[in-house]
Structure 1
C-alpha cells in the first residue's frame, strides 16, 4: 500500500487524484512512483508482510480497513455544507465517491452528484 500527502501548495491534481494540503491519501503504485521524490509530497510505502494478504486479510486486515474507511468515506455532507465548499473541495469528494469532476459542468451538478452518490452508498452499505 502507498500513501501520499501534499505538504506544499493548496491543491494538486494528478492521475485522477486531487490532493489537498496536509491530507494523506492512499494511492496506487504508479502514482507513488510518479510522486515519490517530488518536493511537494511526502510519499510512503507501507510494507505488508508476505503472509498477511491471503491468510490474515480475511481475519485481521479487513476489520481494520473497515474501521479506517468509515471515518473517511462515511462523512455525510449536507447541501449547505457542500455549497460552502470551494470547487477543489467538491471535486475531491466527487473523486472519493468514484466520479469524474471533469464530467460535471458546475457547482450545482457537483453538489447533486455528491448528494445522490452519498444516498446510494448508504443504501448499499459502503
Structure 2
C-alpha cells in the first residue's frame, strides 16, 4: 500500500484522486510512481504487518488515529451556494469526495453544487 500527502498548494487532482493539503490518502502503485519525487507531495510505501495472526486488532487500531486526524479538517464547514459558485471544479470535486460522493457521476457545475448543498443538509439532519 502507498500513501501520498499534498504538502504545497490547496488541492491537486491526478489520476482520479483529489488531494487536499495535509490530507493523507491511500493510493495505488502507479499513482505513487507518478507522484514520487514531485515536490508538492510526500509519498510513502506503507508495509503491512508481517504476522497478522498475532496482531489482528493492532492494524485496526493503527487506522483509527489517522481517521480521527482527518475528520476535523473536513468537519464544521458548511458552504453556501454563493461560495460554491465561486469555486473551481477541482475545489468542488474535493468537497464532493469529502461528502462521500463520486464527482464523475455529476455532469456540470450546477449538479455539483446541488449535490454539495443536499448532502450538507442531510449531514446536519443526521448530526454527522
Q: TM tier, shorter chain? A: 0.5 to 0.7
Any gaps of 5 or more consecutive residues in structure 2? none
Correspondences of 1:1-126 after superposition (within 5 Å): 2-5=3-6, 7=8, 12-20=12-20, 22-30=21-29, 31-46=31-46, 50=50, 54-58=56-60, 60-61=61-62, 63-79=64-80, 80-121=82-123, 123=126, 125=128
Give the RMSD, CA atoms, in angstroms. 3.4
TM-score by length of 2: 0.64
Indicate if the aligned counterparts of 2:4 and 2:41 stay in contact, CA closer than 8 A: no
Indicate if the aligned counterparts of 2:19 and 2:25 stay in contact, CA closer than 8 A: no
Mapped partners of 2:27, 2:75: distance in 1? 22
Any gaps of 5 or more consecutive residues in structure 1? none
Mapped partners of 1:62, 1:19: distance in 2? 19
Mapped partners of 2:18, 2:109: distance in 1? 17
Shift of residue 14, structure 1, vs aligned partner: 1.7
